[in-house]
Structures are given as structure tokens and as C-alpha cells.
Chain A
Amino acid sequence: MSERAPEQVATTYREAVRAGLREALQREPRAFLMGEDIGRYGGCYAVTKGMLDEFGPERIRDTPLSESGFVGAGIGAAMAGMRPIVEVMTCNFSLLCLDQILNNAATIRHMSGGQFSVPIVIRMATGAGRQLAAQHSHSLEGWYAHIPGIRVLAPATLEDGRGMLWTAMNDPDPVLIFENIMLYNMGGTIDAAAGAVDIDRAVVRRPGRDVSLLTYGGSLWKTLEAAATLKEQGIDAEVIDLRTLRPLDDATIMESVRKTRRAVIVDEGWRSGSISAEIATRIVEQAFWSLDAPITRVCTEEVPIPYPKHLEDAALPSREKIEAAVRKVVGR
């Protein structure tokens, strides 16, 4: 029996997400999409382009600008037996439906004493980097990861962009998927038969001995670049892609930290009260005696994101900042 190499196809993150959505609609008759400008306009980041023609307006539902209304309606439809996949254009606008997500989606299972589940998927774009200024550049995934009752995913790769959706849709509880805006144009190749992936585990994207770099989403690629540069300088960094921010995969994190004995967390959220703070605390709680150096964080500066490029860049985690933080932690 000869193993044939799986066929690889060129794609982009945007297309990979679309492929995941199409598969969901093709295979699950109860699935439907709704959101602002997903149909006629083709999606604000063109993710759903062409899907209205393929699936029709019943299943690709353009909504008015009513985030609270249609996310709440998605929650209801989920309880009625459908499998709604709701697109909120960006996490910036998800603040208008925060009430529905937190007070309904996340709590109904518990409040009802386990009688009702809410199998809804809510996708949204996140992140800064396009000079969209203070109201359009938030990274709120860490914030959402504070909430019990929901799962929070941050697909960073083509495989996860495509494969997390199916698993999320089949989860009985609300799942939020955060797609970093800087990833949509990212190209690469993917296994033509790529399909569902797990949404439970963090993954080692680059093995190393000297320091663990813990990150997710758009920051993964900056971190991998930094790790490559550091390697040339003799520092062997391990890069962990968290993939799921709630629940965190403590086992993979601790295994890495116990091995390298040093941790740097890279997170596009603001530093105070961020997911990076949660991760650092868990390392202290669970792996304190393995540490050889203080845990360090590279986060977004505590300022609303400014419009000019040089100031936006200065506010965000960068490859250079990651490298500097790592050099400090390893003392080189």
C-alpha cells in the first residue's frame, strides 16, 4: 500500500474561511448565515462573496444594522433547532450585541438548569493594523474569553480558518470565532481534503528549547518571524499557537514552559486585564517552580489605537518588540 501525498491547493485565509462556511451549508441543512452585507455586498471583508448566488437569500440573510437584534435572533433560532452562523462585521460592533452574547447566549444553558442549549456560532473580524483608528481597531477576543458559557476561537492558519467552523457549529454551546483582519489576504497551500479540526488544543507551531512564546491569531506570524530571527542569534524559541482562548489548553502551555523554563506571551489585546494576564497567572499557579525567569508580555500599549501609521505601529506588538522581550528573558 503506497501512501500518496495529499493534493495541495493554493488558497487564502479568506477563501479558507469561505470554504468552511460553504461546507457547513452544504452538509448541514439547518445551518444558515446572517449578518450585515454578507449577501448582496459580498461581506465587508469579502468572505461570503458569491454565497448568496449559491445558497439563496433564505440561508444567506442580509440583515439591517441591528447587531443586538440579529445576534439575539440567532440565539432564538439556535434554541428552535437551527444552526445559525452569525457574522458580526467586526468585534468593534459586537459591543452593540454584547448584551445578547453575555446575558443570553452565555447564560441560558445555566439559568435554565440545563434545559436549553444555544448552538450558535458568531464570527467576527478583530484586530488593528489598517489605520482604521480608535473605534475600528479593537482586539476583544481576550475580553470575551472572560465569559463562562461560551467558547472563544482564534484561527491563525489556513487549516484552522477552514476547519474550526464545522467543529464549532457542531458544538452544543455558543462559539465565538475571531478572525484577525490582517490574515484575510494571507496566502498558502492547504490539503485539498482539509476538513474539521479540533477546537480544544493549543499546538506547537515551532519547537524550541530556550523559551516558550505563547500567542494566537494575527500575532502568531509576527512571533514565528521573531523566532526565526532569534534562531540566527542562537536563541531557540518554541512557539505555541493557543488556537482556543476559552477554554485555555493549560496542559500544552505548561508542558512547554516546564521544558523551556521561560515564557513570553504575545497578545494584541491591551495589557491590563488581558488574556495574557490570565495565561501568566496560570503559569505562576501551575509551573512556578519550573521558571528560570520572570514571565514577560508583549501586548498593545494602553492607548486607543491612533490613526497615523507610525503611532499605530508603536502601539501594537511587533516582531522587534517580541525579539527584544525574548532576549531580555533569556539574558542575551
Chain B
Amino acid sequence: MSATPDVKPRLSREHSLSLLRQMLRIRRFEEKCAELYTQEKIRGFLHLYIGEEAIAAGVMAALSPEDAIIATYREHGHALASGISMNAVMAEMYGKQEGSSRGRGGSMHIFNAAARFFGGNAIVGGGLPPAVGLGLGYKMQGLPHLAVCFFGEGAVAEGEFHESLNLAALWKAPVLFVCENNLYAMGTALQISESETEIHQKASSYRIKSESVDGMDVVAVEAAARRAVAFVRQGQGPYFLECKTYRFRAHSMFDAQLYRKKEEVEAWKQRDPIKRFGDWLKVIGLAHDRDFQAMESEVAAEVTASVAFAEAGTWEPVSDLLRDVYTPKGSA
């Protein structure tokens, strides 16, 4: 008797601009991060999401604030789109104690309890089992929340992927699996890492409802995510969404990209999700150049402010080195 809920994204002008703004925030934030990395303000590994913004923006638009999110080391976009302030994310990139993880995590480990953001996980496949458990835990407590897990197609080869899908299906755990298939795991192309390259097919073998969507199209992603979320929230079990996408930048800042052709990268850049959506909004008359200009300057101001915030942030004293290894007695 489950009536089909209204799952279409409502493409009002306001909503369209918010999708575009979300993608642009991620893009401009990360462009700044790349610059800050060369200035050695940001250290360690830095994995940019540039090119894949439509997925975080589209999926987050379909979630409720209470839903849990787990992402990978390529998670700046998800963190920003989930509602964590750009200031807190930038300060985390710097390692300052005003950062979302008090500086302890850095680029790969953004966490935020208020946004139910359970981290960037830097072990490939490592986020999937906890996502199943988050979903299971909510279900056992009768809560309506679901857990969303983002991961790359590289993770699909790990045992943890298969174990997680099976468990989620067996327990009808409210989990939305989002595979960001950008065709490469570091330098390993999909066709040399998977015997079955149609990733979403793998979900079917666990009897998990799945679909594949154009991950460069924010509206398509949001529409698919709404279908998926509605399905999961009705208690029908997990859902698997494969988003076909591409990373425009290197895997990390240490990657000479010997494994792919420049022409291939250029061809995918023609499908830039931000430009494509912006152009379309113009064509249908929902937005105009002045909207884009206003948005660019708002976003630029936000990025500039976040850098100032991070710069003004403070280093945690070394005397605090050993804190947060265990939970202080009586505090939890």
C-alpha cells in the first residue's frame, strides 16, 4: 500500500540556484585548496573532487538533516554540501583547532557531529561496513534516518564492499550506497580492475535495488537520489546508486597521470557539471548572467573568509597531544 511519494526534484528558480551554488562552492573551495597546497598551508594528501560536484550536491539535496553520511578521503565536497561551514572545513585543512575535527584529521578526515558527518575515511572500502551499522542502529531504535555511504568504484573490488552489501540486504538496513564511478582508482582503470564493469549490476546479485545515473547531471542525480531515499525510508531496505563521473584533476597532488590521455580528460571537461547546469538554466530562462556573477562573488567572499578564518585559527598546544584517545569518564 505504499503510495509512490513525490520524489521529483522541484526545479524552482530558488532550488536550481541552490544546487548550482553548492557545486560552485565546492569547486572554488577546492581550487583555493590546490593553491594553498602549493604554498604548503595544506599538507599531507589532498584529493580533489573537481568534476564530481554534481553527486554530492544532488544527493545531499535529497537527504534530511538527521541522515548519516560517510565519505572517503575525497570528501571536501560532501562535507560542504552536508552543511558543515566552509570555515570549519578550511580550518581543518590547515590543521587548526578551530577545524571540524579540531585539526586532528586534516583533508582526509573531516568529521562533524551536528551534520551527522561520520568522516572522511581514508581506507578504501572502510566506510561501507560502518554505514551498514549506522543504518541498522537507526532501524533498531525505530528512527527514520538512513545512512548514506559514498565511495569510489575502486572500493568495489574490496571484500568489505561485498560483505556490506550482503549484510545490508539481509538486514534490510536503511542504507543508500552511492558509488562515484570516476573510471580510475588512482591509475587503475575500471576495465582492468573489474570483470563486470557495470557496477550497479553487482548490487542486483545481492538483491539490492540499483540504478546507474549520469553523475555529471545534478538534476539527474538529485532525482535518482530522491527515488532512492524514498525507497529506503519506506523500510524497503538498501538502495544502490551508481553515478558515472570523472575526476578532472590528478588523484592526489603526487600524481603524474601517466595512465590516461589528455584528450580523454578534455572530453570529460566538456561535460563539466557546473557549466552544463548553468547553461541549461540560462536556456530555460531560470537564471541569467547577473545571477551567476552574483553567485561567483558570494562564493569568492565565502572562500576568502574561510581562508582568513583558518589563517587566524590557532594551533593546539603540544601539551594536549594525548587528548581524545579515550573518552573522558563520565562525559559520554
| Chain A residues with a Cβ under 8 A of chain B | 36-37, 40-42, 44, 62, 64-69, 92-93, 95-96, 130-136, 301-304, 306-311, 314-315
B95–A308 touching, CB < 8 Å: yes
| Closest chain B CB from A97 CB (angstroms) | 10
A65–B106 touching, CB < 8 Å: no
**Chain B 186-210: CB-based contact to A (< 8 A → 1; otherwise 0):** 1111001110000000000000000
B258 beta carbon closer than 8 Å to chain A = yes
Q: Known contacts A133-B122, A308-B315; is A302 also within 8 Å of B159 by CB?
A: no
| Closest chain B CB from A102 CB (angstroms) | 16
**B125, B189, B315, B325: the one within 8 Å of A303 (CB):** B325
**A93, A301, A307: the one within 8 Å of B103 (CB):** A307
| Closest chain B CB from A65 CB (angstroms) | 5
B116 beta carbon closer than 8 Å to chain A = no
A65–B158 touching, CB < 8 Å: yes
A132–B45 touching, CB < 8 Å: yes
Q: Known contacts A62-B192, A311-B318; is A135 also within 8 Å of B109 by CB?
A: yes
What are the residues of chain A within 8 A of B122 when measuring CB–CB?
133, 135-136
Q: Known contacts A64-B154, A64-B188, A132-B44; is A314 also within 8 Å of B259 by CB?
A: no
Q: Known contacts A69-B159, A307-B95; is A315 also within 8 Å of B185 by CB?
A: no
What are the residues of chain B within 8 A of A306 when measuring CB–CB?
103-104, 321
A134–B105 touching, CB < 8 Å: yes
Q: Which of B73-124 contact A (CB under 8 A)?
A: 95-96, 103-106, 108-109, 121-124
B157–A42 touching, CB < 8 Å: no
A304–B325 touching, CB < 8 Å: yes
**Which of A41, A66, A133, A136: most chain B Cβ within 10 A?**
A133
- Chain A: interface secondary structure? loop
B322 beta carbon closer than 8 Å to chain A = yes
Q: How far is the CA of A308 from the CA of B316 in the complex (A)?
A: 9
Q: How far is the CA of A134 from the CA of B121 in the complex (A)?
A: 10
**Chain B 269-303: CB-based contact to A (< 8 A → 1; otherwise 0):** 00000000000000000000000000000000000
Nearest-CB residue, chain A, relative to B122: A135
B43 beta carbon closer than 8 Å to chain A = yes
What are the residues of chain A within 8 A of B155 when measuring CB–CB?
65
- Chain B: interface secondary structure? loop
What are the residues of chain A within 8 A of B106 when measuring CB–CB?
131, 133, 307-308
Q: How far is the CA of A310 from the CA of B318 in the complex (A)?
A: 7
A314–B318 touching, CB < 8 Å: yes
B321–A301 touching, CB < 8 Å: yes
| Closest chain B CB from A197 CB (angstroms) | 30
Nearest-CB residue, chain B, relative to A305: B104
**A42, A134, A314: the one within 8 Å of B109 (CB):** A134
| Closest chain A CB from B128 CB (angstroms) | 12
Q: Known contacts A301-B322, A302-B322, A303-B321; is A133 also within 8 Å of B315 by CB?
A: no
| Closest chain B CB from A28 CB (angstroms) | 26
**B108, B186, B321, B322: the one within 8 Å of A41 (CB):** B186
A-B contact pairs, 12 of them (CB 8 A): A37-B188, A40-B187, A40-B189, A64-B185, A69-B157, A132-B44, A133-B44, A135-B109, A136-B122, A303-B322, A308-B96, A308-B316
Nearest-CB residue, chain A, relative to B186: A37
Q: How far is the CA of A131 from the CA of B46 in the complex (A)?
A: 11
Q: How far is the CA of A133 from the CA of B255 in the complex (A)?
A: 19
Q: How far is the CA of A117 from the CA of B126 in the complex (A)?
A: 32
What are the residues of chain A within 8 A of B158 when measuring CB–CB?
65-67, 96
| Closest chain A CB from B192 CB (angstroms) | 6
Q: A41-B255, A302-B322 are in contact. List 8 more A-B contacts (CB 8 A).
A: A40-B189, A65-B154, A69-B159, A131-B95, A135-B122, A307-B44, A308-B315, A311-B316
Closest 6 CB pairs of A and B: A41-B187, A308-B95, A307-B106, A64-B157, A64-B193, A131-B44
**A36, A136, A308: the one within 8 Å of B186 (CB):** A36
A92–B123 touching, CB < 8 Å: yes
Q: Known contacts A133-B106, A303-B321, A314-B321; is A65 also within 8 Å of B43 by CB?
A: no
Q: Known contacts A36-B188, A64-B157, A130-B44; is A41 also within 8 Å of B259 by CB?
A: yes
What are the residues of chain A within 8 A of B255 when measuring CB–CB?
41
| Closest chain A CB from B181 CB (angstroms) | 14
What are the residues of chain B within 8 A of A309 when measuring CB–CB?
43, 95
What are the residues of chain A within 8 A of B126 when measuring CB–CB?
135
Nearest-CB residue, chain B, relative to A93: B123
| Closest chain B CB from A249 CB (angstroms) | 34
**A41, A65, A134, A304: the one within 8 Å of B124 (CB):** A65
| Closest chain A CB from B314 CB (angstroms) | 11
**A40, A44, A311: the one within 8 Å of B321 (CB):** A311
**A66, A136, A307: the one within 8 Å of B159 (CB):** A66
Q: How far is the CA of A87 from the CA of B159 in the complex (A)?
A: 18
B108–A131 touching, CB < 8 Å: no
What are the residues of chain B within 8 A of A93 when measuring CB–CB?
123-124
A302–B103 touching, CB < 8 Å: no
Q: How far is the CA of A41 from the CA of B325 in the complex (A)?
A: 36
| Closest chain A CB from B111 CB (angstroms) | 11
